[in-house]
Amino acid sequence: MNAPDIVIAGRVLSRDDSFDKEFEQRLGECPTLAFRVALGVLRNRADAEDVAQDAMLRAYRNFHQLRDKDRFRAWLVRTTWRLALDRIRTSSRRDKWEFAAAAETPGGAGVENVAATREFHRHVGDALDTLPEKLRLVMILAAIEGHTTAEIAALTELPEGTVKSRLFNARKHLSEKLEWLRAKRP
């Protein structure tokens, strides 16, 4: 016996259509988030894309449990994070720092400035790697798309107070780690 179809926005959809339509919506919004989370850990575009794709595939397989939008994003962030950490642990290759810092520096900057900025970013990235995982995750999420504390709390399923405290500790840790760079900063 066939169950009745579902009507969305005046259009009759079969059950499969509804399922695919919802996933299509997520597919438009979320892969970049997954890519950026992975990039925060791996800092290698190709690896980050692979990990983001793996995470999205897993999301597709488990989409029946993840139809709620907020739940989907939180799940995707956690899964991507774990996959990226697994990737970096299993891979001996750590060829990071291929991103084009030079292209993002303000126009008119000299070659020296570009090199200094790139160097600064490299040190920041290395310091980021030394952060404990729980601090690193909130730091990266705060850097992605300017997420607010509340948004990070929703993504990590942590209380807002915890997120604030972790962000504070992460920034403090990074500042202390890079204190020697402060005088040299371009």
In whole angstroms, give the CA distance from residue 47 to residue 13. Answer: 37
Q: Residue 94 corresponds to which amino acid?
A: R
Does the protein bind other proteins through residue 18 (CB under 8 A)? Answer: yes
Q: Which residues 6+ apart lie within 8 Å of 6 measured at CB?
A: 12, 13, 14, 15, 18
| Residue number, 19 or 149, with CB nearest to other proteins | 19
Does the protein bind other proteins through residue 43 (CB under 8 A)? Answer: yes
Question: Which tokens belong to 25?
Answer: 């919506």
- Using CB under 8 A, pick the residue from 35, 72, 75, 81 that binds other proteins: 35
Question: Which tokens belong to 103?
Answer: 């292209």
Q: What are phi and psi of 158, to 5 degrees?
A: -120, 160
Does the protein bind other proteins through residue 126 (CB under 8 A)? Answer: no
- Using CB under 8 A, pick the residue from 124, 134, 160, 162 that binds other proteins: 124
CB-CB contact of 139 with 58 (8 Å): no
Does the protein bind other proteins through residue 64 (CB under 8 A)? Answer: yes
Contact residues toward other proteins (CB under 8 A) are 3, 6, 15-16, 18-19, 27, 31-32, 35-37, 39-40, 43, 45, 48-49, 52-53, 56-57, 60-61, 64, 67, 99, 101, 104, 120-121, 124-125, 128, 139-140, 142-146, 171, 174-175, 178, 182, 185
